[in-house]
Structures are given as C-alpha cells and as structure tokens.
Structure 1
Amino acid sequence: MSEDHQLRDVFDAIADPTRRRLIHLLAQAEEIPLHELTAQFQMGRTAVSKHLTILKEAGLVHDRKVGRETRFRLNASPLREIQDWVAFYSKFWSTNLLRLSQLLEEEEE
C-alpha cells in the first residue's frame, strides 16, 4: 500500500499506547515475526494482529510471509506528517514565548 492510499490517519494510528510500543519495537529491528511481537505484550496474538492491521492501514507497517510466519517491519515515512505538524507548533510556541519574554522585559524597564 502506498503512502498516497492510506486507509487510516497516521495520527489515529499512533493514538494508542500499544501501537506506539509496537512502532518502538519495530524501529529497533529490521523485521520481527508476529510471535515475537506478541510475546512483548500481555494480550493475545489476535489483539496484537489487530493493532498491527491499524498500523498497516496507516502505512506505518509492512508485512511479508515467510513460510507460515508473518514478519513485520516499520515504514517510518508516514511519521513525517506528525513531525511536520509538531514542528509547525514548536515554531509557533517559540515565537510566541519570545514575544512574551520581550513584552515582560519591556514592562520591567
């Protein structure tokens, strides 16, 4: 699935702590089999698979079959949308805090 045809919003996909943890785990390895991912959580294989499906629909995860095993890997490029959004507001707040600081300095003088 290409980034242009995401079925799910990236912000929605990372809203859940379990999915953020899955992203973190996948960022530390090239590929991880489903059974190894499932072992990291106190939930069943079906629940982990559902979370991975949501990440896959957002373009954040790719999978491939190797025999009877499914392996997952991270595709971090959709996270750029979040990085861009945060960068915009980081600049917004930096600018406004600088203005506030200047205003406070002027009042002290």
Structure 2
Amino acid sequence: MVVYEGSEEQTNRIFRALADPTRRDIVRRTVSGEASVSELAAAYDMSFAAVQKHVAVLEAAGLVAKEQRGRERIVRGRPEVLRHVHAVLDELELLWRTRMQQLDDLFAQEAEADAATRPHDGTPPPPVP
C-alpha cells in the first residue's frame, strides 16, 4: 500500500469525509481558493451550523485548514492531502487492472485449450456431460 505519514485511521477519516457530496464540494471550492465559513454557508441550502459541522469533519480529516482572521474563519483546502487520496486510488486501480488482466489471460488460455481439442474438420465438438 501507499506509505503515508498519517495513520490508517487518518486515511479512513479522509475517505469518510469525502463520502459526502457537500463536503466534496467544499473541498473543491477551497482548493481553488480560500473562503470564509459564511461564504461557504451562503452557497448551500442548509444552516450555517450545518456547514460548520461539515467543515469540522473536513478539518479533522486534514482536507482543509481553518484560520481565524478577525471575525471570520477562513477555510482553505490542503492539496497535499488530496495527493495522498490520489495515490491511494491509483494504487487500487493498478491492483484491479492487474487482477482483470490475470482473468483475461486465464480466459484466453482456456479458449486456446478448448480450440486445440476441437476437431478441425468443421464438425461440432462432442456434448459436455
């Protein structure tokens, strides 16, 4: 698996946080530019407190950082954590592509073996009992 400075529990927190579409959208918005919690709350049909809770989940997962600027809390995405997510997903994709290739190879071997046992004079193969 991918070696990451964080623990496996931290990786689990990241993926649990990203499971929610509102949180994924908050990450998208804050990676491209920082936003205050008030600005984020204005973008969603939910209470300010609900948006604060979403931001808290993202912050606990390390996907965003929040800082106080005067009376506002500014949220910014942390692209380095998203790179970790990307690396984990790349590794899983490679694993599944390898497994699918192994299955394709196995099916090809069976098809070749089946073709080798068939008569070449055009008669159908004998029925399988």
Partner SS state of residue 9, structure 1: helix
Q: 1:65 aligns with which of 68, 79, 96?
A: 68
- Tell me which amino acid in the other structure corresponds to 2:25: R
The one-letter code of the counterpart of 1:105 is: A
Work out whether 1:84 is the aligned partner of 2:87.
Answer: yes
Q: How many pairs align? A: 105
Following TM superposition, the consecutive aligned residue runs of length 4 or more in structure 1 with deviations greater than 3 angstroms are: 3-6
Aligned to 2:48, which of 45, 48, 54? 45
Give unpaired runs (5+ residues) of structure 1.
Answer: none
Q: 2:21 aligns to what? A: 17
Q: Larger relative CO (CA 8 A, sep 6+): 1 or 2?
A: 1
Counterpart Cα distance in 1 of 2:69 and 2:103 = 57
Q: Which has the greater radius of gyration?
A: 2
Contact preservation (8 Å) 1:10, 1:79: no
Alpha carbons of 1:87 and 1:40: their partners in 2 closer, same or farther (altered >3 Å)?
A: same
List gaps (5 residues or longer) in structure 2. 113-129
Report the Cα distance in structure 2 between the residues aligned to 1:82 and 1:61, rounded to whole angstroms.
14
3-state DSSP class of the match of 1:43? coil
TM normalised by structure 1 equals: 0.80
Shift in Å, 1:4: 5.2
* RMSD over aligned Cα atoms: 2.2
Aligned residue type for 1:60: L
Aligned residue number for residue 75 of structure 1 = 78
Listed one character per residue, the Cα deviations across residues 13-35 of structure 1 (whole Å, up to 9, x for unaligned) are 22222111111111221x11122
Quote how far apart the aligned CAs of 1:94 are. 0.9
Q: For each residue in 1:65-90, what CA deviation from the matched residue of structure 2 results, as whole angstroms up to 9, or x when unmatched?
A: 22212211011222344333322221
Identity %: 34
